[in-house]
Structure 1
Amino acid sequence: MRSTRPTTTQTTCDCEDCTSFTITGHIRRTTPAQQADRHHHTAAVDGWSDEEARDYCPGCPVGVPVEQHDHDGLWADDEQTDNEA
C-alpha cells in the first residue's frame, strides 16, 4: 500500500504476513507526484518490487511461496546470516 502526505511518502509490503515498510521524509517542498516518484525509485534500488500495483519488500519476492519469505532478516545477505548462526 502506498501513501503520500505533505512531508512523507510510505510504502507498506502487500504480503499478508509481512509488516515491513519503507518511508521517506520530504524536507524540500515539491509536488506530491515528484515526492512519490523519488520515494518509489529509492525503494526499488533497495530491493522493493512493484508487481501489478502491489508492493513487496526484499524479503517477500514475488513468485516465491509465502512460507519461504524472509520476514525476520529482510536486508541481511546470506553470508552475514551464515556467520551469525
Structure 2
Amino acid sequence: MPSLYFDYHDGAGIEIDDEGVDLLGIGDARRLALEELGQTILDPAYGRITGRIAIEVRDHEGPILRASAAIVLEDLRLIFT
C-alpha cells in the first residue's frame, strides 16, 4: 500500500501530515486513525478543546478515510451561593 497521510482537523484549522506512513492495508489505516484520534482526545495539550475533531487519512489521490469525534464538556454541578 502506498504512503498514507494522517491530517488533523479541528475548529482551529488543519494540521497537514507531510511525512506519511507506509501501512499494509486499509485495516491498519483504520486502526491507526482511531488510535491517533484517541490520543488527541487524551493529550493534555488538547485537553480544553471542545467540538468536532477528525483525523483524515489520504493517499496521493486524496482522502480515503476519516475518524472523527465530537467532544462536549458539561459542568453538571449546581453551585449554590
TM-score, scaled to structure 1:
0.35
**TM-score, normalising length: structure 2:** 0.36
Highest CA radius of gyration, 1 or 2?
2
Higher relative contact order at CA 8 Å, sep ≥6: structure 1 or structure 2?
2
User: Relative to total residues, which structure has the larger strand share, 1 or 2?
Assistant: 2
